[in-house]
């Protein structure tokens, strides 16, 4: 792992994400090394030659976060890293940011795959408007370990339960959904007692990791390979349209709070038009 410390002028970055005004990324890179991670595109802008998951830059910033600028705004922590990667244990950049945000009236959403977030539960309980989402896209621990180096499925579920028991609004971010692999109904059934809301996002394949994922499917799920070719090479969207309808119907029938981010690109474009 290549570790560097860098200095930045501000932790806040204006966001194009559909539901966020600003994002905060305390690190560049991520030690979780998710094979499907869209954030690997960051290498184009940072000059890193290492493989995604093999480097991390720790961001230092001497400028305090201006709470006036984010009053009533939606803040997302984090969009292109995991703010609770393993180096957060020692550097505490995320904890320092949370300490600055305690007196803010912003709407803060934290996304992670790590049980380390429980270390900061004392601060989280003091936040005025907080959502914590934990990414889970499988119940198969072998598949999970093939895809990322983050906390186990059980650890993530236990973390959601602990957060919920402490009065924190919990979201299970089912992302990315792998066609015919992600057991989305079973995941809901096993977690609905301590999850307040579900977010759904489909697997998008682009860049260097497209071939890697398709090769993985061909080797490990050969019976699904032709379906993946149909979806990702022949651009057949029928699977996603049908699944979106099935998810919508299931959640509505069972009174489950949810947001479907399948059409992320369209949501981003809509936000750009609104902001013009």
One-character DSSP codes across 134-186:
EE---S-HHHHHHH-SS--HHHHHHHHHHHHHTT-EEEEEEEEEPTTT--HHH
In the block, residue with structure tokens 């119907």: 249
pLDDT of 208: 82
* Tokens read off for 199: 């977010």
Task: State the virtual CA torsion across 185, 187, 192, 194 in degrees, nearest 10.
Answer: -170
pLDDT of 199: 97
Ordered per-residue pLDDT tens for the chain, 276 residues = 899 999 999 999 999 887 899 999 999 999 999 999 887 776 667 778 888 889 999 999 999 999 999 999 999 998 999 999 999 999 999 999 999 999 999 999 999 999 999 999 999 999 999 999 999 999 999 999 999 999 999 999 999 999 999 999 999 999 999 999 999 999 999 999 999 999 999 999 988 899 999 999 999 999 999 999 999 999 999 999 999 999 999 999 999 999 999 975 555 455 445 555
pLDDT of 206: 86
CA atoms in the 13 A half-sphere facing the CB of 126: 12
* Tokens read off for 77: 């922590």
* Tokens read off for 224: 């699904």
Reported pTM = 0.92
pLDDT of 138: 98
């Amino acid at each position: 792992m290549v570790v560097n410390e860098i200095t930045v002028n501000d932790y806040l970055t204006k966001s194009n994400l559909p539901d966020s005004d600003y994002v905060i990324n305390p690190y560049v890179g991520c030690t979780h090394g998710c094979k499907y991670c869209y954030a690997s595109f960051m290498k184009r802008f940072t000059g890193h030659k290492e493989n995604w998951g093999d480097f991390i830059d720790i961001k230092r910033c001497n400028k305090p976060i201006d709470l006036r600028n984010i009053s009533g705004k939606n803040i997302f922590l984090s969009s292109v890293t995991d703010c609770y990667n393993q180096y957060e244990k020692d550097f505490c950049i995320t904890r320092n940011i949370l300490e600055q945000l305690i007196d803010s009236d912003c709407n803060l959403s934290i996304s992670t795959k790590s049980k380390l977030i429980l270390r900061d539960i004392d601060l989280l309980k003091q936040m005025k408007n907080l959502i914590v989402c934990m990414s889970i896209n499988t119940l198969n621990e072998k598949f999970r370990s093939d895809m990322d180096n983050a906390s186990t499925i059980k650890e993530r579920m236990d973390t959601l339960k602990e957060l919920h028991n402490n009065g924190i609004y919990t979201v299970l971010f089912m992302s990315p959904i792998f066609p015919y692999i992600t057991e989305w109904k079973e995941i809901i059934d096993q977690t609905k007692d301590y999850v307040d809301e579900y977010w759904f996002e489909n697997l998008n394949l682009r860049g260097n990791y497209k071939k890697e994922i398709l090769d993985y499917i061909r080797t490990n799920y050969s019976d699904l390979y032709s379906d993946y070719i149909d979806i990702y090479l022949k651009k057949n969207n029928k699977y996603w349209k049908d699944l979106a309808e099935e998810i919508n119907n299931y959640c509505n029938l069972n009174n489950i709070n949810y947001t479907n981010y399948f059409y992320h690109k369209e949501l981003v474009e809509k936000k750009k038009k609104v902001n013009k």
